[in-house]
Amino acid sequence: MGCIERRERTLDKYVEGVYKSLVEKDPLQKEFHQAAYEVLATIEPAIKKFPKYQDNAILERVVEPERIIQFRVPWKDKDGKIQINRGYRVQYNSAIGPYKGGFRFHPTVNLGVMKFLGFEQIFKNSLTSLPMGGAKGGSDFDPKGKTDNEVESFCTSFIMEMYKHIGQFVDVPAGDIGVGAREIGYMYGAYRKITNLHGTCVLTGKGVVYGGSLARTEATGYGAVYFCDEMLKTKKESMKGKTALVSGSGNVAQYAVQKLIQLGAKPVTLSDSDGYIYDPAGIDEKKLEYVLELKNVKRGRIKEYAEKYKGVTYEAKKTPWGVKADLAFPSATQNELNEKDAEILIKNGCIAVTEGANMPCTLEAISVLQKAKVLYAPGKASNAGGVATSGLEMVQNSQRYFWSFEEVDAKLHGIMVNIHKAAYDTAKLFGEPGNYVMGANIAGFLKVADAMIAQGVYA
Ligand code: NDP
């Protein structure tokens, strides 16, 4: 990845110059190169059509984060030994609102991964139509296998530095991989203790009993399925009776499965970093309840599902993309679906790939899917339901009020329909109907770029 010669599109000189410069400046940040390439290559028609973006050096400015914070996070393990991890917050762009984006706690976290996620977040947040800038943060700390006390020690130490850089009008973080209800709870508690503020607007994904929004937990998975449903409608298809592959078994995967069941589809796989399960009979509500308990309470491994239910197979160290199905929802992590996987999905009759995770498909896989006219939804559009509902959590917190589950879900559904429409219509307008990557990137970019121009060079 990151090598311009291997790409399918030939970039124009200005755009290529911007891309080359960011690769030269940070040659090791491969995931960031990949995310930047995807955006730069697809917004090119808009850059050509409107010279003001080049005149105002918008591309050079938008690829550079406004601020990067990096710090050490010392904490004590269960034996009383001091451990050190690295903490990050990349405050990428605040042209349209306060920085907003999750924290990720995972051993693969480094500055390049933070920049890729923060960069994507700018355009995703813009697409939601809510006033939120883009950011991402986290640590190479791994909560897996840690005791609650260890996680609390880490989260408290992390916030002892991070609290200086966040706030309702500055930066409002949320969860991501490795940061769920438990971690958000500890971080919110530490923030409250340090600042003496009930800063309900400062973190989203909070527990419902202390300011969280109903339906935030479900939002990303539900939103991805709503988006897929909209794509299917453009082909006069529906979810009913469709077999679906889901990867991951965390927050996004769990609620993608739930919405699939509700809309009459049949989800048949789930995975974690050790392997995947295939349940030909389909994962139903009861089995999903077991998964929720297994993953969120017992913190067990997905292979235990295959031990509990008859007729289920478990494949270690593999991803589910070889199983025959109509729909795929990669919902675990970046680059989990490659060119070969895409070819197998197509051979097996898959008609839509909807990203629940951020950048789960490689650039080569995307190209294969698009050439075969498979409906392909990029994460920045299809998983935007999570941050959109975080935005709705901020609205409720500001009003010191809350909405019912049904109200939030209806708003989420409306936002996903609008994001689909914006991506679909924009792609058509720029001459590539059905290219959701181009449509989402241009639609997200234009709003941010115009806000940057309006606010002048120094903003
Ligand atoms: P969780 O931590 O809840 O779950 C992540 C899942 O992915 C786990 O099953 C995990 O398995 C698996 N996974 C993580 N890393 C790897 C890896 N390197 N290889 C294989 N499997 C892996 O995270 P979320 O469900 O919240 O996030 C999943 C994806 O969705 C991420 O890309 C995230 O950025 C994106 N996303 C999440 C949003 C949200 O609201 N939660 C919003 C928008 C995007 P294991 O337990 O073995 O690590």
Q: What is the DSSP string of 89-104?
A: EEEEE-SSSSEEEEEE
**C-alpha 121 to ligand 1 mean position (Å):** 16
- Assigned CATH class of 218-377: alpha beta
- 4-8, 221-225, 346-350, 363-367: segment of lowest average pLDDT: 4-8
C-beta of 175 in contact with ligand 1 (< 6 A): yes
What is residue 6's predicted lDDT score, i.e. its pLDDT?
A: 41
Letter string b/e over residues 199-230, b meaning 16 or more CB atoms within 10 A of that residue's CB: bbbbbbbbeeeebbbbbbbbbbbbbbbbbbbb
CA distance 458 to 66: 11
Asked if 113 and 106 count as a contact pair (C-beta separation under 8 A), the reply is no
List, in sequence order, the alpha helices (H) in 50-144. Answer: 52-55, 58-62, 111-127
What is residue 112's predicted lDDT score, i.e. its pLDDT?
A: 98
Q: What is the DSSP string of 287-346?
A: HHHHHHIIIIIS---THHHHHHSTT-EEEET--GGGS--SEEE--S-TT-B-HHHHHHHH
Angle, alpha carbons 225-227-230 (nearest 5°): 110
CATH 3.40.50.720 segments of the chain: 218-377
CATH 3.40.50.10860 segments of the chain: 67-202
Residue whose entry in the numeric block shows the structure tokens 């498979």: 374
C-beta of 412 in contact with ligand 1 (< 6 A): no
C-beta of 177 in contact with ligand 1 (< 6 A): yes
3-state helix, strand, coil split of the chain in percent (to 5) is 50, 15, 35
CB count in 10 Å sphere of residue 83: 14
Q: Can you name the CATH fold of 67-202?
A: Rossmann fold (3.40.50)
**C-alpha Rg value of the chain to the nearest Å:** 21
Strand bridging mode 352-354 / 375-377: parallel
C-beta of 383 in contact with ligand 1 (< 6 A): yes
What is residue 199's predicted lDDT score, i.e. its pLDDT?
A: 72
Within 13 Å of residue 354, how many CA atoms lie on the same side as its CB?
35
Which of 352, 357, 358 lies closest to 34, judged by CA?
358
As given in the structure block, the two tokens for residue 441 are 């990137």
CA distance 203 to 423: 29
Nearest CA to ligand 1 atom 7: 332
Query: Between the CA of residue 393 and those of 130, 206, 312, 356, 382, what are the distances in Å?
Result: 12, 9, 38, 20, 19
What is residue 8's predicted lDDT score, i.e. its pLDDT?
A: 53
Query: Between the CA of residue 210 and those of 94, 177, 292, what are the distances in Å?
Result: 27, 22, 22
**C-alpha 237 to ligand 1 mean position (Å):** 29
Given a cut of 70, whether residue 2 has pLDDT beyond it is no
Asked if 359 and 437 count as a contact pair (C-beta separation under 8 A), the reply is no
Confidence band (pLDDT; 50, 70, 90) for 4? very low
**C-alpha 114 to ligand 1 mean position (Å):** 15
CA distance 191 to 459: 28
Q: Give the mean pLDDT of the chain.
A: 96
Which of 250, 307, 238 lies closest to 279, judged by CA?
307
C-beta of 382 in contact with ligand 1 (< 6 A): no
Average pLDDT score over residue span 205-215: 96
Q: Which of 100, 136, 206, 287 is catalytic?
A: 136
Confidence band (pLDDT; 50, 70, 90) for 101? very high
C-beta of 101 in contact with ligand 1 (< 6 A): no
What is residue 344's predicted lDDT score, i.e. its pLDDT?
A: 98
What is residue 1's predicted lDDT score, i.e. its pLDDT?
A: 35
Cβ-proximal residues to 203 (8 Å cutoff; 6+ apart), any chain: 166, 172, 173, 174, 184, 187, 188, 191
Nearest CA to ligand 1 atom 27: 177
| Tens-place pLDDT, residues 102-117 | 999 999 999 999 999 9
Average pLDDT score over residue span 192-205: 91
Asked if 423 and 127 count as a contact pair (C-beta separation under 8 A), the reply is yes
What is residue 200's predicted lDDT score, i.e. its pLDDT?
A: 78
Give the number of residues written for the chain: 459
> Is 52 noted as a catalytic residue in this protein?
no
Residue type, 64: E
Q: Which of 103, 136, 151, 273 should be mutated for ligand 1, with most atoms under 8 A from CB?
A: 273
What is residue 335's predicted lDDT score, i.e. its pLDDT?
A: 97
Given a cut of 50, whether residue 5 has pLDDT beyond it is no
CA distance 347 to 184: 42
Query: Between the CA of residue 320 and those of 246, 273, 316, 391, what are the distances in Å?
Result: 8, 12, 10, 33
**C-alpha 399 to ligand 1 mean position (Å):** 31
Asked if 54 and 16 count as a contact pair (C-beta separation under 8 A), the reply is no
Cβ-proximal residues to 109 (8 Å cutoff; 6+ apart), any chain: 86, 88, 138, 139, 140
Nearest CA to ligand 1 atom 46: 272
DSSP E strands: which ranges in 324-456? 327-329, 352-354, 375-377
Closest ligand 1 atom to residue 379 Cα is: 44
CA distance 243 to 446: 36
Confidence band (pLDDT; 50, 70, 90) for 393? very high
Q: Sheet holding 269-272: strands in order across?
A: 269-272, 275-278, 313-316
C-beta of 296 in contact with ligand 1 (< 6 A): no
What is residue 137's predicted lDDT score, i.e. its pLDDT?
A: 98
Average pLDDT score over residue span 371-380: 97
C-beta of 120 in contact with ligand 1 (< 6 A): no
Q: What are phi and psi of 368, to 5 degrees?
A: -60, -45
C-beta of 330 in contact with ligand 1 (< 6 A): no
Confidence band (pLDDT; 50, 70, 90) for 323? very high
| Tens-place pLDDT, residues 236-249 | 999 999 999 999 99
Asked if 220 and 174 count as a contact pair (C-beta separation under 8 A), the reply is no
**C-alpha 311 to ligand 1 mean position (Å):** 26
